[in-house]
Structures are given as structure tokens and as C-alpha cells.
A = this chain, B = another copy of it.
Amino acid sequence: MDPLSRLTELFKQFPGIGPRQAKRFVYFLLTQNNFYRDNLTKLILDLKNSVAECATCHRFYIKDASKSSSCQICSDPHRDASQLLIVSRDVDFENIEKSRTYSGTYFILGGSVPILEKDPASKIRGDELLKLIEEKSATGLQEIILALNLTPEGENTEQYLISYLKPLTDTKNIKISTLGRGLSTGLELEYSDSETIKNALRNRH
């Protein structure tokens, strides 16, 4: 395979990119100057040096002068240590942090558990989570918030996590809570499913 086709193949692995757009990326790069291409490749190669996975919450973070093995949030003494919010992926973390409504700590599962999955443990960072809860229980952890997609896979992950964590959280007297369900922004009642209506009615206030 020639270099253009090989580069096209690599771009096809980017999330959401089909063969036609992958090829357009290649032509786009061909028409860019060296400065852009050098910048792009330098930044990609530097990811290894500039970004680390937090030893505590497992999210990717920009390394700084501190040489800490934990990210800025996990190292921040002002974050509320009594709460631990669990998400599937970094993008979920980012979106929640952007909403500026949560001041506790995080844990990134690194995935979710598909329905009928035979080996759920292989899909998420279960061991690391148990270990972290154990540690944090010694320093005031009171609540674990499961923040998962309201999709079949997200609900399955939630169920799995609840049974997985329960033995430990019961012992340590830590509450497990899940996100509130009901109407989300923009929703019209005419187009709401029965489950959402049920949740919205039950959680009325």
C-alpha cells in the first residue's frame, strides 16, 4: 500500500471518520505548509511527555512542574473529599467539570459494561476503583455518585457497579447515589417516552 493509502487507513480509525473524509484529511495535509504539519506531528508525539494518566482518578491531565503522579484535581485540597463521582470516560468528566456544579473528586472507569458482556471486569477499572474507595474511606469519603449515560449500556454498567461496590460500601458506610432522572433541557412532553414521564412524575418537587 502506498503512503497516502496507509495514512488514509490510519485516519479511518479516528472516531466517526469514514473513508471519504479520511482521504480529504490526507489532501488537506498535503496542501498545508510544513509549519502546520510539523506542529501537528510534534504535538501528537509530545502527548506521551506532556500528558499523563492520573494515578488516582485515571483521567488524562497535562503534566506540570509539580512532578506529582496525581492530576491537579486529585491534588487540590479544596476539592470535597467526601464525594467521589464515577464516569465512564474523560469526555464525561470534562463535560461535568464544565458545568461548574460539582466540587468533589472523580474516578474514570475507562469504559462501560455492554449488556450480556461475559467478562465485565475486563471492561472497566474495577480493582483500581475498589482500592481507591478503600483509601478514601479512611479520609472522609461518604458518597459515591454513579454518573453514567442513561442508555442500556450505561444502565447496565450502573447495575454492575452497584453490586460490585456494595460489599465494600456497606462495610465502610458509604452511600451510593445515581443521577436524577426526569426532563432534560429541550424535552417536550409530546415526544417523551413513558420511562422519562414516570421518572419526571416520581421526582417532581
Q: Is the CB of A182 within 8 A of B185?
A: no
Q: Is the CB of A179 within 8 A of B185?
A: no
- Cα A198 to Cα B179 in complex, Å, equals 10
Shortest CB-to-CB span from A88 to chain B, Å, is 8
Q: What mask results when residues 89 to 107 of chain A are scored 1 for a CB within 8 Å of chain B, else 0? A: 1111011101111100000
Q: Is the CB of B200 within 8 A of A10?
A: no
Closest to A61 in B: B4
Q: Are A149 and B188 CB-contacts (below 8 A) given A10-B43, A96-B197?
A: yes
> Contact partner of A180 among B2, B23, B200, CB < 8 A?
B200
- Cα A160 to Cα B194 in complex, Å, equals 27
Among the stretches A44-52, A121-129, A132-140, the one at the interface with B is A44-52
List, in ascending order, chain B residues with CB within 8 A of A92's CB: 189-190
Closest to A192 in B: B95
Q: Is the CB of B43 within 8 A of A91?
A: no
> Contact partner of A183 among B150, B186, B194, CB < 8 A?
B150
List, in ascending order, chain B residues with CB within 8 A of A6's CB: 39, 43
Q: Does A161 contact B (CB under 8 A)?
A: no
Q: Does A168 contact B (CB under 8 A)?
A: no
Closest to A90 in B: B27
- Top 3 A-B residue pairs of the complex, sorted by shortest distance between their CB atoms: A180-B203, A180-B182, A99-B194
Q: Please, could you name 24 A-B residue pairs with CB atoms under 8 Å apart, sorted by A?
A: A2-B50, A3-B47, A3-B62, A4-B62, A7-B40, A14-B28, A24-B91, A29-B44, A30-B51, A30-B90, A38-B45, A41-B45, A92-B190, A95-B192, A99-B197, A101-B194, A101-B202, A150-B183, A150-B184, A180-B201, A180-B202, A181-B184, A181-B200, A184-B196
